[in-house]
Chains A and B, each alone.
Chain A
Amino acid sequence: MFVLFCPHCQEKREEEEFGYGGEAFRVRPSTPDTVDDETWGDYLFMRSNPKGWNWELWSHATGCRKFFVVKRNTATNAIAGSWTLAEGRKVYDAEGGAQ
């Protein structure tokens, strides 16, 4: 159990209020009709699933129902912070993407 901060509601709430949305900032191939099956399969199914810091999507399912990004350590459940998607993207890019 951990407590997440919703950047939209500006509230700290228990994990039960939130839904997990998986790996953040995955890039959908811009031309799905023409990419080969490996590329599409990679986008659709493959995951980095890192042991350590992970950029992930959460939705405030029983609150504002908006999505936001969280940087959480999957080995310890430590949380570095949560941001709106746009703000999170800036921090993510400034760090040089997922480690």
Chain B
Amino acid sequence: MKKDYSLWSLFTKGLKHNEGWDPAWRSADPKPSYNVVIVGAGGHGLATAYYLAKEHGVRDIAVIEKGYLGGGNTARNTTIVRSNYLWDEATMLYEHALKLWEGLTEDLNFNVMFSQRGVFNLGHTLQDMRDIERRVNANVLNGIDAQMLDTAEVKRMIPILNTSKNARYPVLGASYQPRAGVARHDAVAWGFARAASKYGVDIVENCEVIGMDLAGGRIQGLQTSRGFIRAERVGCVASGHSSVLAKMAGIRLPIDSHPLQAFVSESMKPVLDTIVMSNAVHGYASQSDKGELVIGAGIDHYTSYTQRGSPHIIEHTAAAIIELFPIFSRVRMNRQWGGIVDTTPDACPIISKTKVKGLYFNCGWGTGGFKATPGSGNVFAHTIAKDDPHPLNKAFSLDRFSTGHLIDEHGAAAVAH
């Protein structure tokens, strides 16, 4: 059992020039068989393993990953956490996650640097403002901290925002969720890996699934690049590659994989102490603790697995950010990257059993999965352990695409998911 991090351990290790820190988590070789195998060692997959071990007492768990830990979308998102969605089902799911975020650093004994700096969703047209008001009212009815702000209030809180009436798309107001925030995305993967490792979870990297063995309508195990792994239950949490995995089991998913791009600027002194999103002009920005502006773009419209998108998408988003913040017009951009997001027709996730017994899917988070990381892992662990969905993810089953009970969150999600 690894020792907890504490002020004392920081002090004593500091006296020894910070040598002698143990590795935070254990990279394992695969055993021939497990009770539960999770496919995908990103935030959601590791969180699933952690809550399976912690809350459901499952001990024989592996998390297998085709690349390296947290190397997919966990490391590629813009780290925004919020829960101001429109419909009850989605709001409750994301709020469950937000509540877990609020205690996550203590729970994992790993600083995930969760900083609740609030999020503004700007409105630029009368219809925007009506939609925002409707969403804020829905949030308040669900107990979410949401407020309507007018232009003067937005300007008071974000002085560098261009609120001129002469702007191409003038800011008419915003919704504001004070409890929203950002977190350190790598730390989330490392923290969950460390905490899961403590419970004996095997984290197996460089282990790609190349086939699934099924018999009698039941999952038997996984063919991987590191040999066959027998498993009683398999949970797939592979974001953009979910369709590829589902095909191995003969399942079709309502998912399109699109590139989603983001970019960061050079480090600057603190200038933006909150998160600003605008669906109308297609851009969102926050400033990281390192001082970089973290800017997210929209998805490329074509499907792709390339982890890179087209430059005109970035150009469009950069134009939007400069429209909102003219002060950023000469900021130099440092890095740009793309991830593959798994979008669904209703912009809501799928956390579900499948027609194959013992095979579960957690996917379809599209452009906004990071915010749900602990909540997603928590309810998915319940779904796998009990072979029955948690009340919070019952509505997010795969069968909603035949019953027609979709949860349309395009308004709350859209570009700025």
Minimum CB distance partner of B308 in chain A: A77
Contact among A42, A47, A72, A77 for B255, CB-based, below 8 A = A47
**B257: CB under 8 A from chain A?**
yes
**B241: CB under 8 A from chain A?**
yes
Question: A-contacting residues of B (Cβ < 8 Å)?
Answer: 241, 243-244, 247, 252-257, 301-306, 310-312, 345, 401-404
A-B contacts counted at CB < 8 A amount to: 69
Q: How far is B316's CA from A16's CA once the two chains are assembled, in angstroms?
A: 12
Q: How many residues of A contact B (CB 8 A)?
A: 27
Q: CB distance A75 to B243 under 8 Å?
A: no
Q: How far is B303's CA from A47's CA once the two chains are assembled, in angstroms?
A: 11
Q: CB distance B256 to A49 under 8 Å?
A: yes
User: Shortest CB–CB separation between residue B347 and chain A, in angstroms?
Assistant: 13
Instruction: Mark A10-49 against chain B: 1 for CB-CB distance below 8 A, else 0.
Output: 0000011001101000000000000001101110111111
Q: How far is B306's CA from A2's CA once the two chains are assembled, in angstroms?
A: 13
Given contacts A42-B252, A49-B303, 6 further A-B contacts (CB under 8 A): A40-B402, A41-B401, A41-B402, A46-B253, A46-B254, A50-B243
User: Shortest CB–CB separation between residue B337 and chain A, in angstroms?
Assistant: 16
Minimum CB distance partner of B242 in chain A: A49
A-B contact pairs, 18 of them (CB 8 A): A2-B310, A19-B301, A22-B256, A37-B402, A37-B403, A45-B254, A46-B401, A47-B253, A47-B256, A48-B247, A49-B253, A49-B303, A50-B243, A51-B244, A74-B304, A74-B306, A75-B305, A75-B306
Contacts of A48 in B (CB 8 A): 243, 247, 252
Check A49/B312 contact, CB under 8 A, given A19-B301, A37-B402, A77-B306: no
Contacts of A37 in B (CB 8 A): 402-404
Q: How far is B345's CA from A60's CA once the two chains are assembled, in angstroms?
A: 24
Q: How far is B306's CA from A25's CA once the two chains are assembled, in angstroms?
A: 24
Minimum CB distance partner of A47 in chain B: B256
